[in-house]
């Protein structure tokens, strides 16, 4: 199981129900394959940095899922087929986050060493 972030853009003139329908469908795809939807965030309407088709705006939705590559493949296929989805991007985040944790832990350790016993409050503020 890996953690992925899938962000996609729905056409700005889509109704709320349409957006909810897409989100529901996508959740079903993940859950149907023993995946887990960690979070779904409707970021909302945003200006696009460039025109896509004939749209200057888009409705951004962010999925955070825990699943296998196969599930993500199906997820992407669904997005590709959906007419009201302008664009999507999938990013695998678990490796990057693990690395960040490591860096943070190392930094904390270093700080602890530096101010061993002398100023314990300095460690807490500098994270």
In a 10 Å sphere around its CB, with 0-12 CB exposed, 13-18 middle and 19+ buried, how is residue 23 labelled?
middle
Report the residue count for the chain: 127
Give the nearest distance from C-beta 33 to another protein in angstroms.
Answer: 24
Q: Which is nearer to another protein, 89 or 122 (CB)?
A: 89
Residues forming the site for another protein (CB under 8 A): 7, 9, 46, 48-50, 52, 58, 62, 87-89, 91, 96-97, 99-100, 103-104, 107
Q: At what angle do helices 69-81 and 16-31 cross, to 10 degrees?
A: 150
Nearer to another protein, 96 or 116 (CB): 96
- Please state the closest distance from residue 34 (CB atom) to another protein, in A: 27
Residue number with CB closer to another protein (117 or 125): 125
Q: How far is the CB of 118 from another protein (least distance, A)?
A: 22
- Minimum CB separation from another protein for residue 49, in Å? 4
Tell me the C-alpha distance between 109 and 115, whole Å.
10
Q: Which two tokens stand for residue 12?
A: 């700005």
Within 8 A by CB and 6+ apart from 93, the residues are 3, 4, 5, 64
Cβ closest to another protein, residue 28 vs residue 46 = 46
Write down the residue that tokens 């002398």 correspond to.
118
């Amino acid at each position: 199981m890996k953690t992925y972030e899938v962000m996609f853009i729905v056409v700005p003139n889509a109704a709320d129900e349409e957006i909810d329908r897409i989100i529901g469908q996508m959740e079903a795809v993940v859950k149907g394959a023993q995946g887990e939807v960690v979070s779904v965030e409707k970021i909302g309407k945003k200006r696009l940095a460039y025109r896509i088709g004939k749209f200057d705006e888009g409705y951004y939705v962010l999925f955070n899922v825990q699943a296998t590559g196969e599930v993500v493949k199906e997820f992407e296929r669904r997005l590709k087929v959906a007419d009201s989805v302008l664009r999507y991007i999938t990013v695998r985040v678990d490796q990057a986050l693990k690395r960040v944790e490591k860096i943070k832990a190392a930094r904390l350790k270093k700080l602890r060493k530096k101010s061993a016993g002398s100023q314990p409050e300095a460690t807490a503020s500098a994270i």
